[in-house]
Amino acid sequence: MPTGPKCSMNMLWNTQIQDTCIVFRQWHISSTFIFILSFLTIVGLAVLYEWLRLVQHRIDVVIAKDLAKNKGIVSGSMTPQLEEETSLMGRPKAKSGTPIPLPGRLLRAATYGVSIFLSFFLMLVFMTYNAYLILAVVLGAAVGHYIFNADMDVDAVLYGNVPSKSVACH
């Protein structure tokens, strides 16, 4: 009775190519050619993740501009608006934000969900402890960052209005 491909699971840093399985038993590296395809696929997934981060930001910009246009909000205003209601202590409550219409919320949630899935998937690739596969993730992230982050909002960077970009999974 054939047992199928033998997956090697290393819990230490390694450079093994043959019999490495990436995330699934079906993604089995059985030859150098399959390894090269897998490496390029992982680079592509990491580039895709960086593109998705850009898409999320652009969606937020479109939604924010639409909300500002519909509400008459002045662009660049840094002070929170006050509600008519008061807190239990008798002080006015500061608004934490403007409600987003359902279509925008659904789109934001969907892109966020996909980005979370992709980030955890790349984390699982990283957890193979395979130096080549780790290099593929890092290389893809660097290439994606280079391609999709060519512009900078200088004022936002200088005045602390830049969303934090961490190296965590999401």
Per residue in 144-158, pLDDT (tens digit) is 999 999 998 888 888
Q: What is the pLDDT of residues 61-86, one digit of tens each?
A: 999 999 999 876 544 444 444 445 55
Mean pLDDT of 36-57: 98
> What pLDDT is attached to residue 166?
60
Q: How many residues does the chain have?
A: 170
> What pLDDT is attached to residue 87?
60
CA pair distance 117, 46, nearest whole angstrom: 12
User: Angle at CA 61, nearest 5°, toward 56 and 62?
Assistant: 100
Which DSSP string corresponds to 103-153? HHHHHHHHHHHHHHHHHHHHHHHHTT-BHHHHHHHHHHHHHHHHHH-----
Q: What is the pLDDT of residues 1-18, one digit of tens each?
A: 566 668 888 889 999 999
Closest CA to 128 of 5, 10, 7, 8: 10
Per-residue pLDDT band for 122 (boundaries 50, 70, 90) equals very high
**Model confidence, pTM:** 0.78
Whether residue 100 contacts residue 108, with contact meaning beta carbons closer than 8 Å, is answered with yes
CA pair distance 20, 9, nearest whole angstrom: 7
- Least confident window among 70-84, 91-105, 126-140: 70-84
> What pLDDT is attached to residue 80?
47
Over the Cα atoms of the chain, what is R_g? Answer: 22
